[in-house]
Structures are given as structure tokens and as C-alpha cells.
Amino acid sequence: MSREQYQDRLSELRTEVVLLAELVLERYEAAVEAAEAGDIRQADQIVRQDDEINRWYLELEGECIDLIARHQPVASDLRLITASFKIITDLERIGDLATNLAGRTEYDAGIHPAVDIRSLGMTAAEMADTAVEAYERDDADACRTVAADDDALDSDCEATTEAIIRDLITERAASDATKSADDGVAERADSPAAVEKTTRGLLTVRDIERVGDHAVNIAARTLYMLDNNEALLY
Amino acid sequence: MPRNEYQAELSDLREDVVGMSETVADRLAQGLTALETGDETLAQEVIDGDDEINQLYLDLEKQCTDLIALQQPVAGDLRFIAASFKIITDLERIADLATNLGEYAVAADEDPFPGIDIQGLGEITLEMLADSMAAYADEDRELCYAVNDRDDELDAECEIASDTVVRELIEGEKQMDDDEIEGFMEDVSRLLLTVRDLERVGDHTVNIAARALYMIDNNDELIY
């Protein structure tokens, strides 16, 4: 294969990784919307489409290895290929998290009143989007932005988790008060439905926080590819 | 490079990846012990040791790409190297989670729910890690499936643990003022994060097992 064809394959690889990212993020955003709206039909569709992402992921992985084996790339070419190899793993995991969110969607009901799923979910999506753009356009500054945004997302997620727990404590206090007033006949907030709602809220926050972590991984790999700088890598 | 030197490099890679997993398993065990005993010195050792793992990880990554580029391996050898390349990422992430445990141990005041068996969950993750690495090192396909099945058990145990926390929060009788509630919520959040992190360790061991199976049989059924 000529030098030119090799360069074509490298830029083709980058394009394909970006296309996979676009598909994954589209699915993830649709999952956030489905979970918010309680749209079961859309959620089912997302779950069914995960296989397509998985296939594509393994194909791209094969392409990365084939490129290394045939062309013994060095320096920045090698870093582009290894970055791509690692980034597609993160994209595949974001696809899995979209499937998780979709699987937790309840008919006609939101996730939990304390969880602003749109705000948290879309913040994570934007971070992933910025990280992929940084990879596409060799933008080192954007990589650092993603890392900084993740600190904000983590603290929003932590605040939401605490709000879910606080909700439980408040509900308990309220039901205790009712109970003593009614001489013990009132129901406490300990129905299976209350536990399920809380768990669903906690798991949703956890999954969104993980999407943010994967966005940071993508940004970190991109920065390593650009500057041989491992500052964000761990 | 002569053929037998290439074979020696492949088996070096295998040994080095297994060696990395042993260091990571030690860190995870130390993180768990620090949580149990509240030993802040041990916790700090786990946190400080993360740099060493990260360096190990980058060195191994280079070993993998050098082997692929210089030897142009095919078929089984290539799948072995690609598996090693992916597995070290999971090991590095498990070490990060061990570091989290160290941080929780430093921050913890008291265990809000002594009934939650964190050590038992940790034990399961350590066994899954050892089994997934044995599956890789010994090319044991049965063990790959066993790790995958064990993860269902771990997930169920983690779910029970989280549900128990939630239920006890609802049912608890203890009256608290606002300051007590703040401290209590931090303890509860930390406990839930600990359960979540252990569940993630399990997920990474499944990734390792899935990669091992793909390497052994070119079988991708556990990969996703």
C-alpha cells in the first residue's frame, strides 16, 4: 500500500470514530429524553439498537490493529491509532449506559422528582461532544475544558444524590408526624414503590456521572495523542 | 528478531500483565482493609501508589504496540496482544477505584450502617479479579463464563445493599438535628459510592473475562 493510501486510511479511521461517536451520543440523548418523558416506545428502540453499536465498535478495533500491524506507525500516527482504539471502548460504554437509562424508563413517569435528568444528562452529553470534537480537530484546550466540566458534573451529581436521600428523610419525618397524629394508622413511606423510586434515581445519577467519566477518558486520550501529555490520562 | 525471542516477548507480556493485576489486587485489598479499620496511613499508601500503576500501564501499552508493529503478529498472537492491550485499561481503572476506597477511608467518620457487608462484597470482587486473570493467563474459557455469572451475583448483592440503606433510611427511628443530618448524609453517600465502586470493579473483571474469551475462541459473546 502506498504512503498516500496509508494516510487515507488514517483519516478514514478518524472519520469513522467520529461517526460512531455521533451515533452513540444521538442514542444517549434520546435515552435521556425517553427517561424524562416516560416514553417506553423510544426506550425500547434504544435497547434494541445497541447491537449495531457493538458491531461497529469491534470492526473499528480490528481496523486499528490492522493499521498498526501493516504500517508499523510511529510517533503521532501511532498515538492517533492507540487513541482511537481506546476512545471506541469509551464510546461503546456510553452506548451501554444509554441502554441502562432506557431500560429504567417508566411508562408516563419521570425518574425521580429530585433528579433533573435533562440538565445532568445533557451536561454529560455536551462534555462527550466536546471531547469528540477535540479528537476530530486536534484541540488541546477543549480537552482541558472537558476535565474541568467534569468536576462541576460530579458535584451536581453528588448534590442530586444527597437531595434524593434528603427526600427520604423528610418523607419519613412527615409520615412519622402523621402517624402520631393519627395514632399509628397512617402509612409510612416505606412501600416497595418508594424504595424503587429512590433506587432508580440513584442509579440514574450514577450512570450519567459515568458518561461524564468516559468523556474525560476521551479528552485525556486526545490530549495524550496531541501533546504526548499524560496529565489527564488517569 | 528470531522466532524464539518473539515467543519470549509474548510470554513476558503475559507475565507482566498478570504482575500488574497482582499489584492492583493488592491495592484493592488494602483499600478494603483501610475502610474496615479506618487506617489512614494505609489509605494514604493506596492513594499515593496510584502513580506507580499508571506508569506501569503506559509501559505495558507500549510493549503491546511495539509487539504489534515490529512482529506483525497474526491470528491467535494478535488476539492475545489486543486482549492484553484492553485488559490493562481495565486494571488501571480498578486501581482508580481502589484509590477511591482509600479516599473514603480517609474521609469517613463513622459507619452509618454496620449491617452492610462491604468486606463481603469486596471479597467477591477480589475473587472475580483473580479468576478473570487466571482465565486470561491459562486460556480457561469456563472461567470466563464463571466470572460473567458471578457478576450477576455481585450486582444482586450490591442492589440488596443499596436497597437496605434506602429502607433503613426510611425506617430509621433516630431523630437528628440539621447538623447531624448533614454528617449522616455524607456518611450515607459515601457508603452508596463504595457499593457503586465495588460493583464497577466487578464490571471491569467481566470486561477482562470477555476479552480473554475473545482471545481464546474468537468468541465475542461476553464483550458487550
Q: What is the CATH number of the domain that holds A196?
A: 1.20.58.220
Please give the residue that has the higher pLDDT: either A75 or B56: B56
B69 and chain A in contact, CB less than 8 A = yes
Cβ neighbour number for residue A34 with a 10 Å cutoff: 22
Nearest 10 degrees: CA dihedral of B4, B6, B8, B9?
A: 170
**Closest Cα in chain A to B95:** A234
- Residue B221: the pLDDT is 86
Give which of A218, A18, A25 is closest to A122, Cα–Cα: A25
Distance CA A138, CA A141 (A): 9
Indicate if the pLDDT at residue A20 is higher than 70.
yes
List CB contacts of B99: < 8 A, sequence separation 6 or more.
B27, B31, B46, B47, B50
Indicate if the pLDDT at residue A73 is higher than 60.
yes
Residue A216 falls inside a structural domain: yes
Residue A2: pLDDT band with limits 50, 70, 90 = confident
Residue B224 falls inside a structural domain: no
List CB contacts of B113: < 8 A, sequence separation 6 or more.
B164, B165, B168, B188, B191
B163 and chain A in contact, CB less than 8 A = yes
Do A161 and B72 count as a contact with CB atoms less than 8 A apart? no
B85 and chain A in contact, CB less than 8 A = yes
Indicate if the pLDDT at residue B69 is higher than 90.
no
Please give the residue that has the higher pLDDT: either B17 or A192: B17
Residue B16 falls inside a structural domain: yes
Cell 449506559, located at residue = A97
Grid coordinates representing B105 are 477511608
- For residue B31, give its domain range: 3-217
User: B88-124: per-residue pLDDT in tens?
Assistant: 999 999 999 999 999 999 998 777 888 899 999 999 9
- For residue A83, give its domain range: 3-227
Do A161 and B50 count as a contact with CB atoms less than 8 A apart? no
Mean pLDDT score of chain A: 88
Residue B138 falls inside a structural domain: yes
Distance CA A160, CA A116 (A): 8
Tell me if A218 sits within 8 A of A232, measured CB to CB: no
Tell me if B104 sits within 8 A of B53, measured CB to CB: no
Q: Which of A68, A89, A96 sits opposite B89 (nearest CB)?
A: A89
Residue A197: pLDDT band with limits 50, 70, 90 = confident
Look at residue A81 and give its three-state secondary structure: helix
What CATH number is associated with residue B72? 1.20.58.220
Q: What's the residue count for chain A?
A: 234
Indicate if the pLDDT at residue A1 is higher than 70.
no
Residue A18 falls inside a structural domain: yes
Distance CA B97, CA B66 (A): 29
Indicate if the pLDDT at residue A57 is higher than 60.
yes
- Residue A184: the pLDDT is 44
Residue B223 falls inside a structural domain: no
Residue A181: pLDDT band with limits 50, 70, 90 = low
Enumerate the residues of chain B whose CB falls inside 8 A of the CB of residue A198: 166
pTM > 0.90: no
Residue A106, beta-bridge partner list: A109
Give the gyration radius of chain A's Cα atoms. Answer: 22
Indicate if the pLDDT at residue B175 is higher than 90.
no
Amino acid at A169: I
- Residue A186: the pLDDT is 41
Tell me if A85 sits within 8 A of A130, measured CB to CB: no
Residue A233 falls inside a structural domain: no
Give which of A83, A79, A94, A76 is closest to A61, Cα–Cα: A83
- Residue A25: the pLDDT is 98
Of A101-105, B128-132, B183-187, the range with the lowest mean pLDDT is B183-187
SS (H, E, C) A105-158: CECCECCCCCCCHHHHHHHHHHHHHHHHHHHHHCCHHHHHHHHHHHHHHHHHHH
B162 and chain A in contact, CB less than 8 A = yes
Residue B41 falls inside a structural domain: yes
Indicate if the pLDDT at residue A189 is higher than 60.
no
If one counts the domains in chain A, the total is: 1
User: A149-164: per-residue pLDDT in tens?
Assistant: 999 999 999 999 989 9
Helix axes A75-103, A192-227, angle to 10 degrees: 170
Cβ neighbour number for residue A4 with a 10 Å cutoff: 8
User: In chain B, pLDDT over 90 holds for what percent of residues?
Assistant: 70
Enumerate the residues of chain A whose CB falls inside 8 A of the CB of residue B172: 172
**Closest Cα in chain A to B218:** A58
Helices (H), chain B: 3-37, 40-48, 50-71, 75-107, 118-138, 141-171, 178-217
Determine what percent of chain B falls in helix, strand and coil, rounding each to the nearest 5: 85, 0, 15
Tell me if A58 sits within 8 A of A178, measured CB to CB: no
Q: Which of B65, B171, B181 sits opposite A190 (nearest CB)?
A: B171
Cβ neighbour number for residue B160 with a 10 Å cutoff: 14
